Amino acid sequence: MEKLIESLQDKDHKKAYAALKEIQSKSAESDAFFHFFNEFSGLLAAKNSYVRTRGFLLCCAQARWDTQGKLQQALPTMFLLLHDEKPSVARQCLRALHEVVLYRPELCERIKAELLSIDLSQYQDSMAPLIQKDIHALLKAMKQPQGNTVHCKIG
């Protein structure tokens, strides 16, 4: 497990991406990687945008196992990536938040407030509508319950 965690910052992006995918897959099955949450949240401060994004995605992947409120504590730092100058970073992070909304509905109001504060004017005309679409999809996911999962109500 430690080798996989180290690989997340590898200069070989293919190796790092493979580690990300493996950890995400295993995180969907068990809480085996939850005790690495602090390492994942530590990646949010990396200089490299790929590493920061991996940290965000893996924090979100732990949402189902977080009974200790670690995700809630990490949100302020995580939210910075929603405003990243690179639209690809913002889009990946917006998509990853669907898992948080699904498993941690108590965080919906904080997430909604942050989504509404995103300034789309910082992005090129070709990207702003895509980010806006991602935001609307996430807001819609918060409104509509799926299966037996409880979601917050957005008024």
Tell me the C-alpha distance between 87 and 2, whole Å. Answer: 30
Whether 154 is covered by a domain: the verdict is no
Q: Report pLDDT for 101.
A: 96
User: Element (H or E) spanning 103, and its range?
Assistant: helix 87-103
The CATH code of the domain that includes 14 is 1.25.10.10
pLDDT exceeds 50 at position 2 = yes
Q: pTM for this structure?
A: 0.89
Q: Hunting for tokens 């590898």 — which residue is that?
A: 10
Q: How many structural domains comprise the chain?
A: 1
Whether 31 is covered by a domain: the verdict is yes
Query: Which residues constitute the domain of residue 100?
Result: 2-143
Tell me the C-alpha distance between 152 and 145, whole Å. Answer: 8
Query: 90-110 burial, b if ≥16 CB within 10 A, otherwise e?
Result: bbbbbebbbbbbbbbbebbeb
Whether 10 is covered by a domain: the verdict is yes
3-state secondary structure 15-38: HHHHHHHHHHHHHHHCCCCHHHHH
> How confident is the model over 14-65, as pLDDT tens digits?
999 999 999 999 999 999 999 999 999 999 999 999 999 999 999 999 999 9
Tell me the C-alpha distance between 141 and 98, whole Å. Answer: 7
